[in-house]
A and B are shown apart, each in its own frame.
Chain A
Amino acid sequence: MNFLTCSDDLAVPIHRRKLVILCLTICLLHLCAAGISQTVTISVKNYRIDSIFSEVKKQTGYVFFCSSDIINDVGPVAIDARNMDLNKFLNKLFSDLPLKYTIRNKTIIVSKKAGTTPGVSDAPSKDPAAKTQDLTVERPPILGLVRGRDGRPLVGASVLVKGTKRGASTDPGGRFMIEATTGQILVVSYIGYKTAQVFIASRTVDLLDIVLNAEDEHIEEVVINTGIIKRDKASFTGAATVYTGAQLKAVGNRNVLESLRSLDPAFIKVENNLQGSNPNIMPTFEIRGQTTINTNTLNGQFSQDPNQPLFILDGFETTLQIIHDLDMNRVASITILKDAASTALYGAKAANGVVVVETKRAVPGRLQMSYTADMTFEIPDLHSYNLMNAAEQLQYERLHGYFYDTAGPAQWRNEEKYNHRLAEVKRGVNTYWLNEPLRTGLSHRHSLQFAGGNSDLMFNASLSLGRQLGVMKGSDRRTWSGNIGISYRKGRLNLYNTLSLSGVKSDESPYGSFSDFAAAIPYYRKTLPDGTVGKYLDGEFDPSIMNPLYNVSFPGINEAKSFSFFDNLDAIYTVSARVRLQAGVQVAKGYAKNVGFVPPENTMFDNSDLQQQGSYTQNNQENYSYRGYAMLSYGEMIGKHQLSGTVRGDLSETTNESRGFSAVGFPYGSDGNPIYAYSYTPFGTPSSSDGKSRSAGLLASFNYAWDRRLLFDAVYRLDGASVFGSDHVFKPFLSGGLGWNLHQEPFLKNMQFFSLLKLRVNAGYTGNENLGQFSSISTYAYQTGNNNIFGQGITVSSLGNPTVDWQRTLQVSYGIDMGFWNNRVSGYMEYFDKKTDPLTIGAEGTLPSSVGTGKNYVINAGYLSTKGWTMNIRVQPINIPSKGIIWSIGIMGSHYKSLYGGLAEKLAKLNEDQTKNKGLLRFTDGYSPDDIWAVVSRGVDPATGSEIFQKKDGTISFDYSTDDIVKVGNSRPKIEGGINTTFTYKNLSLNSTLRYRIGGYVFNSALYDKVENVGYARENLDKRALYNRWKKPGDIAQFTDIKSTTANLTSRFIQEDNHLIGESFSLSWRTDAKWLHQLKLQSLSITMYTNDIFRIEKIKTERGIDYPYARTASLSINVSF
């Protein structure tokens, strides 16, 4: 490779005035010094001088540094040298040329001999420094690096020696080289940044590290990394927010997704009331609401949550689980892309928004090491449980009337039973079952990070090891990860490689569902008189009630292990300051194994054959993928016109495979090794599934800004995917946006009041590829195990629909970004309108069954539109930098509303199923997927204790009819969000986040299952079943007759859920004081957190049914060396 081709492409105008352009090609490759001879053998005639330079470099490893105009003046050269010493050779070479050289650290710096540099010597000589110029060129030049505050190198920044015309501009790595001497001042300027003046105090510094501050504080932080291209927020018209790793860590140390949710109003975690704080259940997230119908009925065949955002890690698509388990200390930044203008880059995958995670990259400098330890206490949060104690339970049962019926032949037995239990209560038996499966979990995580290297070869590495102990005993999640990143620079080529390995092992609690313990009746004892755990709680009177602790004494296995590996390799080649070529490839592989074993002693096998007691299942999954892209980008500033464009092509393939089997019949006491199984599950077949999908895309993006005032963005993406089916292999997606930086307008620019005022609007299409792999062609499968005399048969497994149209979402967004009083008040507001049309849904239930299409057939039906707004306002009431005091308050909020349309009666069957299965949802035009449907209740009749229903026509009735079901509420709140406060005093920082929710409705399952509708089941109930139910005529009660065992789904169980949660409080202290250095430490920081510490709510309902919620308190210590 020829490193000495001093190309004009790097020439960038430095100053407005006409100047001599010093184009510097920086040849900083002195890697392979060792083992290279210091002698030169060259014998040429009529040879270009730069070719000779490159030959010398090849032979000696010495690199030449020169400016292009110098070389251009030199004609062809002849030289004859055999095994000549380098110094001699250079003397010989330069003796006839108008050039001279100096050697510094394996770099040969070439300059003109005095008196022969007309360009430079024309410089005004008023400045005394100019007179010493001849002296300075004798010396080696100054090497430097120009970066923004975020550490990003600034490309094309101009560096000028003050008072001279001597200048340089930075290369793609932000580096420059300039001839200057001690005492001179370098003027460094870059568009959008404050110009800096750097005094050269000493020449001993290897590399001058210059950090520029942004001209505009608001812009400074904000480089939007879309995972594909980096954009300056000031010229971007899309809605995207960026959070740094430090910001995320300030909120919590659990995982990045939990922190992200606390910071961004649009990133919403869907509550999983069943699984609470189970560390092994992946949470569900949404950005800006839903884009598709999400019911199990429809999405049985879909592998992934079709409303899940797309996750990008270091430029490549990844899974929710990888992000969830990512070591927080590695995260450099997370960008959330919300609207069409920002997500359109991802075309067919982007309808649900995109979360772009960028990990820390290597930085040059000496070896740095940091260690972070996180410790977390997880404390069960049971405040929502409102269960009866032993005496209350017994009293309730007596009032209920069924259990101790005083009439009929069983009367004496009932009395005996009651009195026996009463005696136990009187003896003081009041068992608290809830704490039995619970503990305070102590989780910890250790993370070690290394980084270092010189400006050509840098590396960073990290190791992390963690173990999260959930609040249920035995619930455990261990994670580990290791990765190495290497950055290598050779001339205009930058290579970056990341290798990452990670693993998870998760165990579910052997206690099973928490609800079993919530249901256990408190007047029973945990153990038998002899201290052992019995099988039955009440063997004498009610042998149907098992002791929930019994099965725990025979622990089974419920574990999952996974391992994943990936390697990313990116290469960036800077063709010129305007044009850049980039390519990357990722290879990933993963394994997962799930094992389940239920021992034969488990009560579930009580009625099974001996040979079928005990069960074992194993499932192994394997996945493999590769992805690659190539990208050409261009950027230029011509006067007031700023242009940039990108063309990119990418392709990927993902293969998934899973195999599983199950076995039954284990000897008592066996440990779950399948070798002891009696047989495979009778009539069972091994499970198996395979899937392969490919996609390819072409992207073109263009941006234009005029005078940083008017902005225009356009993105076109052509997405091809195998899941689209054969007739529609390619889908086009288009988006465009406009922006107006009002604060840059002359009429506002002079008003100090506005530091930022930007209006933006954009619109575009995105798609949703999560909808699984079903094709437009028919597929057949063997009818296994069912031959006839003609042998095997194959049958249609899914009918293809060649006309099915892919689901597309049109999103229109409006936004305003603002900052007043020097950004003492800042924030944004956004409004959007998303319309997914048509919806692509499974045809089951939407077509008459005689069409014979079966459940895999897919059709288009109706549309779903979601409108909403989000806002985030931050105020700094106190900002005294001199005293190091900053106090800021942020309020964020969001609201969404979705509506169905165009469905007509197509989903009538689904609505009927909802009615039949007591579902609360309906698929009806003009209504929302979040609407809750039930019969309106008018309360409980004081005379009879029965519920009074309101019919559709408004009249009241005692008769419940499903015909009277109407919309009674909507589960989306009117507004939800967070209130964030940060107070910083010098090294101390206090951070709190409160989460609020106003106006959404929820179905209170505790009321429905544990107060009314209790049937004849004998389980521990809510206190309200005793105190608040109707007992005698005249009672004004909230709940029906205590003797009634059933209840219909009515609006009484749908309640407004307003709440305030103490989501995060943290106190952190950071120091890099002198005493640390004596300990050989660079800095130390300690942060204490509490998460979900309180919850103030209006309604009382049980939260965390199968797994309780946790409050957490944690400590994070970070030391860097």
Chain B
Amino acid sequence: MLASVFCSVAGCKKYLQVQPTGAYTEVQVFSNKTAAQQALNGLYIDLASNDLYGAALTQTYIELMAQRYRGLVDGVNFYEQYQQNNYNAAQAQEVFNTIWKSAYQTIMSANLFLDKIEISIKNHVVSEEQGQLMKGEALSVRALLHFDMMRLFGPVYSLGQNQPAVPYYTVADGKTQPILTSAEVVAKILEDLNAAESMLADDVIIKSGIINEPDFYTGHRNQRMNYFAVKALKARVYLWANKTTEAHDAALATLNQGEQWFPWLPFKSIVTASTPDRIFSTELLFALYNRNLYKNYAAFFSPSLTETYLLAPDPANLRNTFEGNENDWRYPTTWRQTTKSYRTFFKYEDISLSQPWGFLQPMIRKSELYYILAETEPDAAIARSYLDSVYSHRGLPALAVNASVPAELLKEYGREFYGEGQLFFYYKRTNTPFIPDAMTNTPRAPVYVVPLPLSETTPR
């Protein structure tokens, strides 16, 4: 009676629906095309944060763990903890915790996106084709993050594929998922990647390559989880799981179908160029636009930094890596001696902004597919020829007939992926018992498994 004076139940409900200010509800986001796109783009911005591929998993901590730089004691960044594999040191625990949390929060965002974009498709906010493309990307972002969390926190696959590794989340519902074994995680990753591959079947990159135009669905496809990036990632996953045949097939299929769009970088773009393309950008199947890239250069690699803050390799170590070969396109262009008495790392130095590769953080490159082919090819001669294909575009001579493919691969991972975070995982995948120590250059037994953060294990 009196209630009706105030509000009928329906009207009252409406009265009580208050939209939060300074934030957008999921309803607002997914009923607006631009906002839905921005929600997908948010995943890439998350990936490019310094806690993930913006620095931690490409330039800094993961490379310190691979003995790339001298871990000098500075009392601020505690770089030595990673270099000395003191993963349980308080500062290292905090860093790994942040990496872990950022990764899984992005996974949660991707899962929420996958759930909600269905509504946008149903309501014709985005077209069916656009929706499929976005879903494919979100699925592969989810797979990528799970894969790297497994690579970092899980066991060495060949030793413990049935040991617990990491949990796998496919729904954003606040419910805890069990920690799966590496084999189970790999199966889930592949499932996601296969689904993503079929969703990306109409990706414009397949027919037209990379279009440097600002269209959200067709432009800059190399800066998104595109069709070829997904296929290449599959090859990386198969190799991690010791499925050499599948890895070989996946790498070959990617190259056969897509190599035309990722041409080798010409000599003049790197060695003689005034703004050298030090990231070999044309060969990148997937890269992240990292707004902080040049800020990070100034914070980690700039020769103007004091010794204790500077991430730089031991000069002898660096010379060994490049075998002192000044003809290597990746060596004198990227490693220069300026104000310091040793070479420092210029890969991510600020370049002219007009270059299309500005701000790019390499994630998956073509050469890796050749390395996969070489590693998984039983015929040594063919394997060498795969490596020669890369070498001929790096200013290196063709391999001798008696050259050991695994030994060359190890060297190549060291040279090719500086500042890209792949070397540690190469060591881990092959379970290399001793690697050269960053400080002393003597063999050191690395610790490959990073313990799960306490924030993960304590509440379980």
Contacts and interface: CB of A to CB of B under 8 A. Distances in A.
Given A721-B16, A854-B108, A906-B459, 19 more contacts: A647-B1, A720-B13, A777-B25, A778-B112, A781-B23, A790-B214, A791-B38, A792-B38, A793-B42, A793-B46, A794-B29, A795-B45, A799-B172, A799-B174, A848-B456, A849-B100, A849-B101, A850-B176, A852-B109
Nearest to B146: A850
Nearest to B288: A788
A690 B29 CA distance: 19
24 contacts: A630-B6, A632-B2, A647-B1, A648-B2, A651-B6, A722-B16, A788-B44, A788-B45, A790-B289, A794-B29, A799-B112, A845-B455, A849-B101, A850-B107, A850-B177, A851-B174, A851-B177, A852-B104, A852-B107, A852-B109, A853-B174, A909-B454, A909-B458, A912-B458
B267 interface: no
A689 B22 contact: yes
A696 B220 contact: no
Contacts of A852: 101, 104-109, 169, 172
A789 interface: yes
B276 interface: no
Contacts, number: 210
Contacts of B97: 849
A711 B49 CA distance: 66
A686 to B, nearest CB: 12
A783 interface: yes
Given A848-B459, A850-B456, A777 B174 contact: no
Contacts of B49: 786
Nearest to A697: B6
B16 A695 contact: yes
Nearest to A798: B23
A1045 interface: no
A269 to B, nearest CB: 34
Interface size on A, as a range, is: 35 or more
B41 A777 contact: no
Given A848-B167, A849-B97, A797 B1 contact: no
Contacts of A144: none
Most buried by A among B25, B42, B48, B106: B42
A412 B7 CA distance: 86
B414 interface: no
Interface string B241-278: 00000000000000000000000000000000000000
B29 A780 contact: yes
Given A688-B22, A850-B166, A909-B459, A795 B16 contact: no
Interface string A684-707: 000011111111101000000000
Given A781-B24, A800-B26, A851 B6 contact: no
B35 A794 contact: yes
B303 interface: no
A796 interface: yes
A550 to B, nearest CB: 29
B372 to A, nearest CB: 28
Interface of A: 630-632, 647-651, 688-696, 698, 720-722, 724, 726, 729, 773, 775, 777-783, 786-801, 843, 845-854, 857, 859, 905-906, 908-909, 912
B175 A851 contact: yes
A843 B174 contact: yes
Interface string B1-36: 111011100001101111011111111110000010
A849 B106 CA distance: 12
Most buried by B among A690, A786, A798, A852: A852
B131 interface: no
Given A720-B16, A795-B42, A795-B109, A789 B22 contact: no
A909 B2 CA distance: 49
B5 A779 contact: no
B104 A849 contact: yes
Given A729-B13, A851-B104, A775 B20 contact: yes
B347 interface: no
A722 B169 CA distance: 31
Given A630-B6, A793-B44, A908 B100 contact: no
A909 B45 contact: no
Contact of B26 (A647, A722, A777): A777
Contacts of B288: 788
Given A788-B223, A795-B45, A846-B459, A781 B174 contact: no
Contacts of A651: 6-7, 15
Contacts of B7: 651, 696
A502 to B, nearest CB: 27
Given A630-B2, A848-B455, A778 B25 contact: yes
B207 interface: no
B136 interface: no
Nearest to A779: B23
Given A649-B2, A848-B176, A722 B17 contact: yes
Contacts of B22: 688-690, 781
B227 to A, nearest CB: 18
Contacts of A799: 108, 112, 172, 174
Interface string B154-184: 0000000000001101001011110000000
Nearest to A649: B6
Contacts of A694: 15-16, 18
A908 B457 CA distance: 10
Nearest to B113: A796
B301 to A, nearest CB: 21
A4 B84 CA distance: 98
A1086 B453 CA distance: 68
B45 A793 contact: yes
A775 B41 CA distance: 24
Most buried by B among A649, A793, A845: A793
Nearest to B1: A647
A1114 B113 CA distance: 65
A729 B16 contact: yes
A850 B223 CA distance: 26
B291 interface: yes
Contacts of A721: 16
A794 B42 contact: yes
B289 A696 contact: no
Contact of B108 (A688, A789, A845, A851): A851
B108 A847 contact: no
B19 to A, nearest CB: 8
A722 B18 CA distance: 6
A19 to B, nearest CB: 35
Nearest to B458: A909
B7 to A, nearest CB: 6
Contacts of B12: 696, 720, 729
A788 B20 contact: no
B26 A778 contact: yes
B160 to A, nearest CB: 19
Most buried by A among B35, B37, B108, B288: B108
A848 B460 contact: yes
Interface string B204-228: 0000000000101001100100000
B39 interface: yes
Contacts of A630: 2, 5-6
A649 B3 CA distance: 6
A791 B41 contact: yes
Most buried by B among A720, A777, A796, A798: A796
A794 B24 contact: yes
Contacts of B28: 780
Contacts of B17: 722, 726, 729
B223 A789 contact: yes
A798 to B, nearest CB: 8
Nearest to B101: A849
Contacts of A908: 458-459
Contacts of A688: 22
B5 A649 contact: yes
Contacts of B100: 849-850
A788 B289 contact: yes
Contacts of B18: 692-694, 722
